[in-house]
Structure 1
Amino acid sequence: MKAASATAGLAALTGCLGGGGGGGESTWRTQELAAVPAEEYDSLYESSDEDETGETINHLTWTGYDASNVQDPFRDQFDCDTQLDLFTSNPKAFNRLESGEWEQFHQATFDMAWLPELAEADLIRPLNYEEWEPYTFDKYIDMFTKEEGYKFAFLNEDDYSFDVDGTMYGVPQRFGWASFVVNKDTVSESDYSSYDAAWSEDYDVGVYDLMFWAMQIIMLREGIDPYKEHTDEEVEQVRQATFDLFDNAKTLLPDFASMNQALKSGEIDIGFISGNWINGTLRRGGDLNFEAHVPEEGAIIWVETTCMVKGNQPTVSDNYLAYMQQEETAKNLMWPSSGGTNVVPHEAAIDAVNEEQSEVLRVDDIPDIVDKSVFYTGVPDLEKFEPIWREAKARI
């Protein structure tokens, strides 16, 4: 955050298409923001009194983004409001936008696998990579930079496939992994090196009723690529593995709060599935023996990615997106005053966490976790596996 970078940033954002959104009918004002300290925001924001008051950013997103330590600094600096509508299901949120609710929102944060669907449905607008690079990708850890091949924010506009050389449609904001959670005090390390531990009679297992992620983890355990069309033989293989899992399980858990309680009370030794966003609450409370472990079969990496929704935008919309990329904001998003703990791809924010936060978030483990895992890109025939899950639940 030096004067030189501020000058470069100002030059980059001056002349943005729609203030960085690119295309569409909007009246956005551009200003340099992300390369300067927060206390200087006001001096850079030139607007009339009419623009400065009464504006609201409507953001469709996940829990944690609404935390006071994440939102209040922006509200104070820009004398405006932010309204966050929280969701827990990508498909349901997509259906809301597609049914016409896109008019109610300015920004939306989906798991990155939904970018192709959102773009093809003309619900989000492209971003200019060169203009946004200093505020976003220049700040990221290496594995999330375009130079290292991170492609899940870019789309080939011919077929809306992920393409690192394509058009930028989103900004990576927060990420994590789906795997299983183990109580390291009761489960042998040699056992939890594989998902097979959840199929073992030696441990009490709770199954979280979250078919979407669980089926992908079962496929990894079976050595099946989740992100392709599946043969009848593969579907049958997944069916048998799912039935075996449920036959071995002690309980079916309706939500992650129930799973965390079952772990903490000692009712179960293993929760299938889980992830850093689920068991982070336990770890933040001091129970570091509970770990969303990533065994040799790997995990599923998801990346929450913020997009500009089509339609008119408030004049401060660009500033809000850039603000969310600030070191302090990103750090607060990892450790929000409400909501669970998750990791952000911002290098300076990760470097700024203290020793306790680093241990809870498992910062040192992230390179190995990502290296052995796969990025979630969408299961093309998920409907084949939904009946299997329903049948399996009847077996507990």
Structure 2
Amino acid sequence: MVNRPSFDRRAVLRGVGGAAASGVAALAGCLGGGDEIEGAEPWQTDELAEVPAEEHPALYEPSETERDSSETLAHLTWTGYDAENVQGPFREQFNANTNIDLFTDNAQAFNRLQSGEWRQFEQCTFDMAWVPRLAEAELIRPIDYESWKPYTFDQYIDLFQPENGYKYAFVNEDDYTFDADGTLYTFPQRFGWASFAVNTDTVAESDYQSYDIAWSDQYDVGIYDLMFWGIQVIMLREGIDPFKEHTDEEIEQVRQATFDLFDNASTLLTDFASMNQALTSGEIDIGFISGNWINGSLRRDGNYEFEAVVPDEGSIIWVESTSFVKGPQPNVSDNYMAYMMRGENALELSWPDSGGTNVVPHQTAWDNYNDEQRRVLRIDEIEDIIEQSVFYEGVPDLEKFEPIWREAKTRM
């Protein structure tokens, strides 16, 4: 293995939520447990009369009047949320319509909301690193922690509890960074990791313990043209913290590593369907990059030899997180949020009848995964994967690496 400088990923992981033990108590005090937030609009502090805590975890049964008045909930989000087994039961129970608008790029979705499209949506689901930016731009609204805790954090696995260090739903409104003692702005919904995929039938286990194997001519390597995640994984391989401003020396190090990777690769793939096809056809042995959201469809079809492995250098953990978009909310909005957070419905989202398979952080879902789902989603490995990886916090100078990726593509 090549010797490189390293950053302490476990220190970064500990930074996931440094204020662990006092997190919940501090949040309750900060938000006032239902008291009005200074400067808040009325809809920001309304009690959740539609989803009373005493009836948790079941949602309330709509009245005849509510059943007679159909409302529409508009949600900007990722594929899978639009699946019929996810949306259908909600629409039927609440006599409501849902407008699910899908996107594939956080930055583009952010720009849509910022340009004024926020008026078209009540809820949005972004990778969690975008939550501070959404909050700073006042595109999403703060959430009362104590009111929503029974429907969200009380339902999550231990890895996603604030008292255990999970901070990626809370924002410090002084500098708009993640802070377990900050204001709640979002709820974790689905999660996974970005790394690389290998065919374990053709790539020796000893070889995929490091990303170095993708730089070796020992196997055929395909590169998925997804600069955003690719550059971050390259930084992990190089021992560079992705989530800080980078020096000229680090940028040059990433440049050379990126060029070397592309020089070694046998093919450039435009989308993850093409990469999955290249893997199944035997055209490539290694897909760089990949993740559980990409190769999960292969495994769901029984192709367990394809695995988004996490080598010694770790992976990037992403968490899709759902927020209330600023502006008035229909009556059904609270119920939709609570519905999506119920464990049995999170299980459907984890295994949608259209869109990819992904892990959810809801304990009820974890308790009810069947043997096939546990194997496809690699549930029994999740804790180790998170332990050796880093949570995605955003690359502050990503624009410096876009020309590097573009130039590297011209070398193929």
TM-score for the superposition, normalised by structure 2:
0.88
Residue 239 of structure 1: SS of its match in structure 2?
helix
Counterpart of 1:23 (choices 40, 45, 51) is 40
1:230-249 matches, within 5 Å, as 230-249=246-265
* Residue of structure 2 equivalent to 1:9: none
Render the CA deviation track for 1:62-115: whole Å, top value 9, x for unaligned.
Answer: 000111111111111100111100000000000000000000000000000001
Using the TM superposition, give the Cα deviation of residue 159 of structure 1 relative to its aligned residue in structure 2, in angstroms. Answer: 1.2
Using the TM superposition, give the Cα deviation of residue 26 of structure 1 relative to its aligned residue in structure 2, in angstroms. Answer: 4.0
Render the CA deviation track for 1:307-358: whole Å, top value 9, x for unaligned.
Answer: 0000011101111101111111010011001100000011111110100110
* Residue of structure 1 equivalent to 2:15: none
**Does residue 353 of structure 2 align to residue 337 of structure 1?**
yes
Counterpart of 1:32 (choices 51, 75, 89) is 51
* Residue of structure 2 equivalent to 1:356: 372
Q: Which amino acid aligns with 1:48?
A: T
Q: Which amino acid aligns with 1:41?
A: Y
**Does residue 390 of structure 2 align to residue 374 of structure 1?**
yes
**Does residue 124 of structure 2 align to residue 75 of structure 1?**
no
8 Å contact kept, 1:24–1:312: no
**Does residue 195 of structure 2 align to residue 176 of structure 1?**
no
Residue 303 of structure 1: SS of its match in structure 2?
strand
Distance 1:254 1:141 in 2: 35
Counterparts in 2 of 1:368 and 1:80: CA distance versus 1, 3 Å: same
Unaligned runs of 5+ in 2: 1-32
Using the TM superposition, give the Cα deviation of residue 158 of structure 1 relative to its aligned residue in structure 2, in angstroms. Answer: 1.1
* Residue of structure 2 equivalent to 1:281: 297
8 Å contact kept, 2:245–2:397: yes
Residue 209 of structure 2: SS of its match in structure 1?
coil
Render the CA deviation track for 1:214-245: whole Å, top value 9, x for unaligned.
Answer: 00000000000000111111000000000000
**Does residue 288 of structure 2 align to residue 269 of structure 1?**
no
* Residue of structure 2 equivalent to 1:111: 127
Using the TM superposition, give the Cα deviation of residue 157 of structure 1 relative to its aligned residue in structure 2, in angstroms. Answer: 1.0
Counterpart of 2:271 (choices 252, 255, 267) is 255
**Does residue 160 of structure 2 align to residue 144 of structure 1?**
yes
Residue 108 of structure 1: SS of its match in structure 2?
strand
Distance 1:294 1:187 in 2: 14
8 Å contact kept, 2:57–2:151: no
Residue 388 of structure 1: SS of its match in structure 2?
helix
RMSD: 1.8
What percentage of residue pairs aligned between the two structures are identical? 68
8 Å contact kept, 2:194–2:229: yes
Using the TM superposition, give the Cα deviation of residue 17 of structure 1 relative to its aligned residue in structure 2, in angstroms. Answer: 7.6
* Residue of structure 1 equivalent to 2:183: 167
**Does residue 60 of structure 2 align to residue 41 of structure 1?**
yes
**Does residue 174 of structure 2 align to residue 158 of structure 1?**
yes
Using the TM superposition, give the Cα deviation of residue 41 of structure 1 relative to its aligned residue in structure 2, in angstroms. Answer: 3.1
* Residue of structure 1 equivalent to 2:147: 131
8 Å contact kept, 2:76–2:123: yes
* Residue of structure 2 equivalent to 1:384: 400
8 Å contact kept, 1:207–1:253: yes
Q: Which amino acid aligns with 1:364?
A: D
Using the TM superposition, give the Cα deviation of residue 53 of structure 1 relative to its aligned residue in structure 2, in angstroms. Answer: 2.1
8 Å contact kept, 1:25–1:311: no
Count of residues in correspondence between the two structures: 376
Distance 1:337 1:261 in 2: 20
Residue 81 of structure 2: SS of its match in structure 1?
coil
Using the TM superposition, give the Cα deviation of residue 143 of structure 1 relative to its aligned residue in structure 2, in angstroms. Answer: 1.0
Using the TM superposition, give the Cα deviation of residue 125 of structure 1 relative to its aligned residue in structure 2, in angstroms. Answer: 0.3
8 Å contact kept, 1:124–1:309: yes
Unaligned runs of 5+ in 1: 1-14
Residue 88 of structure 1: SS of its match in structure 2?
coil
